[in-house]
Amino acid sequence: MSAHQPAKKTSLQDWHPAEVVAALRMKGFSLRQLALLNGYGNPNSMTTALRRPYPLAEAIIAEALCRPASDIWPTRYGPDGKPNRGPSGQRALLPSDAKASVLRVVRNAQKAGGQ
């Protein structure tokens, strides 16, 4: 008989994925809803940010929670609040104008929902 293996833990500093989902639910959002509101073809694409760095999805989730992404995933961001990833990870970032327009969708959804 083998001993019970504990589940693989994410960083103790970062929010647990279940905490992120619960906080979104309390604000009236789901990851699927955020993906669809922001024009993602795959409604499950936002879940990637729960497991690994995904700057745009992290920004959308953080905006929906009214918090900076560096508060939710501190190990993914430097002291200046910028993602602490190498050049390959930077390609996932959009120019600030595109990012602002995507985040505007979340703000409009919050206003419409009375949040």
Provide the pLDDT for residue 90: 45
Round to whole Å and give the CA distance between 104 and 1. Answer: 54
**Chain centroid to CA 33:** 13
For 2-55, the pLDDT digits (tens) are 566 655 555 568 999 999 999 999 999 999 999 999 999 999 999 999 999 999
Over residues 63-78, mean pLDDT: 94
Q: Are residues 84 and 77 in contact, defined by beta-carbon separation less than 8 angstroms?
A: yes
For 57-69, the pLDDT digits (tens) are 999 999 999 999 9
